[in-house]
Amino acid sequence: QTFQFQEHVFLQFLGLDKVPSPQKFQPVPSVLKKIFRDQEAAATSGDSQDLCYIKDLGTRGNILRLLLDQGLFLYSEKLPQASSCLQKQLYFNLSAIQDKEQLTMAQLGLDLGPNTYYKQGPELELALSLVQEPHVWGQSIPKPGKMLVLQSVPWPQGVVHFNLLDVAKDWNSNPQKNLGLLLEILVKGTRDWGVNFQLQDTCARLRQSLHASLLVVSLNPEQCHPSSRRRR
């Protein structure tokens, strides 16, 4: 009984409402591992440190969350353009962020998979837009709203990052606005790219390896007092 109560208090302290029971551990990005190790080393050596400044990310904050994408791939009979490779709704649940926390960073990471997949690297174009209207069933893809990013990725390699702080702040203060994002990836220059099946092969691999995540950094003012002004 007592342990249950103590456990509940400890979980609340961690900002959790019940004991998490993950099926498996998610891979921890190297940046989080590095921040954790540096923090542990500093605490062990007794070096004084500013717990509320994340040096590796260059931002204030003491809570880092790597949110997984919960959106679905979208399939439409008539792809808007012949070179359209994939369309995916990206959705990140921000409900774990408590009201008192201040968002200081929201970085979207799109892992397009290692470029060893692509023998002849195609030129990809990423289009990222806000979903501003609820998805109507039967409608093949949600109506894209404001375009956030239109960017060529000359050679798909590793993770491509986008700063979504303003969008995340808006979603955090108006959760009903959080309808996710629409990601569309086009393959450019398919004309001189030979037969169609290479396009299909690339798109299938892209669909398989695409992994989206949102790194959110926030500051809990109860644990992080405004940075004390440097004494002159």
Q: Is 82 in the site for another protein (CB under 8 A)?
A: no
Q: Is 39 in the site for another protein (CB under 8 A)?
A: yes
Q: Is 155 in the site for another protein (CB under 8 A)?
A: no
Q: Is 67 in the site for another protein (CB under 8 A)?
A: yes
Q: Is 72 in the site for another protein (CB under 8 A)?
A: no
User: What span, in angstroms and rounded, lies between the C-alpha atoms of 169 and 148?
Assistant: 15
Q: Is 66 in the site for another protein (CB under 8 A)?
A: yes
Cα-Cα-Cα-Cα dihedral of 147, 60, 216, 211, to 10°?
80
Q: Is 56 in the site for another protein (CB under 8 A)?
A: no
Nearer to another protein, 108 or 124 (CB): 108
Q: How many CA atoms lie within 13 A of 98 on its CB side?
A: 14
Span from 65-73, 106-114, 156-164, 175-183 in contact with another protein (CB under 8 A):
65-73
Position among 1, 2, 5, 25 found at the interface with another protein (CB under 8 A): 25
Angle (nearest 5°) at CA 118 between 194 and 190: 30
Q: Is residue 213 classed as helix, strand or coil in its secondary structure?
A: strand
Span from 20-28, 106-114, 179-187, 189-197 in contact with another protein (CB under 8 A):
20-28
User: What span, in angstroms and rounded, lies between the C-alpha atoms of 79 and 86?
Assistant: 9
Q: Is 21 in the site for another protein (CB under 8 A)?
A: yes
Q: Which residues contact 89 (CB under 8 A, 6 or more apart)?
A: 71, 72, 74, 131, 135, 141, 142, 180, 181, 182, 183
Q: Is 26 in the site for another protein (CB under 8 A)?
A: yes
Span from 24-32, 103-111, 146-154, 166-174 in contact with another protein (CB under 8 A):
24-32
The dihedral region occupied by 109, where left means phi > 0, alpha psi between -120 and 50, and beta the remainder, is: beta
Position among 1, 2, 58, 62 found at the interface with another protein (CB under 8 A): 62
Q: Break the chain down into helix, strand, coil percent, rounded to 5.
A: 25, 30, 45
The contact set with another protein (CB under 8 A) reads 7, 14-16, 18-23, 25-26, 28-29, 32-33, 35-36, 39-40, 43, 46, 49, 51-52, 62-68, 70, 93, 96, 223
